[in-house]
Amino acid sequence: MQASDRFNINSQLEHLQAKYVGTGHADLNRFEWAVNIQRDSYASYVGHYPLMAYIAIAENESIGRERYSFMQKMLLPCGLPPEREED
């Protein structure tokens, strides 16, 4: 692998990280990463009707109620953020 290839790969990675929040970056902590994963999962459940119907049947709830529940969980999917240490 040549130096130009490495530069090209790094620039592509930086572009993806700037374009899509969920791809992360070097300063992303564990809590923020977990929040991104949970929100992406809930958004996928809400966006795919057959999966939402399956979850609604498994939970014995209506599809609308499950959709509302997932939308509410997207606000704080992992609870409150941890206290930040001041440097």
Considering only residues 29 and 71, tell me which one the structure prediction assigns the higher pLDDT.
71
CA distances for 1 relative to 6, 8, 13, 32, angstroms: 7, 11, 17, 33
* pTM of this structure: 0.73
Name the 3-class secondary structure at 80: coil
Q: How confident is the model at residue 85 (pLDDT cuts 50, 70, 90)?
A: confident
Express each pLDDT in 38-50 by its tens digit.
Answer: 999 999 999 999 9
Mean pLDDT calculated for residue range 27-38: 86
Give the pLDDT of residue 52.
96
Considering only residues 47 and 81, tell me which one the structure prediction assigns the higher pLDDT.
47
Distance in Å from the first CA to the final CA of the chain: 39
At residue 59, does pLDDT exceed 70? yes
Give the pLDDT of residue 87.
59
Mean pLDDT calculated for residue range 79-86: 81
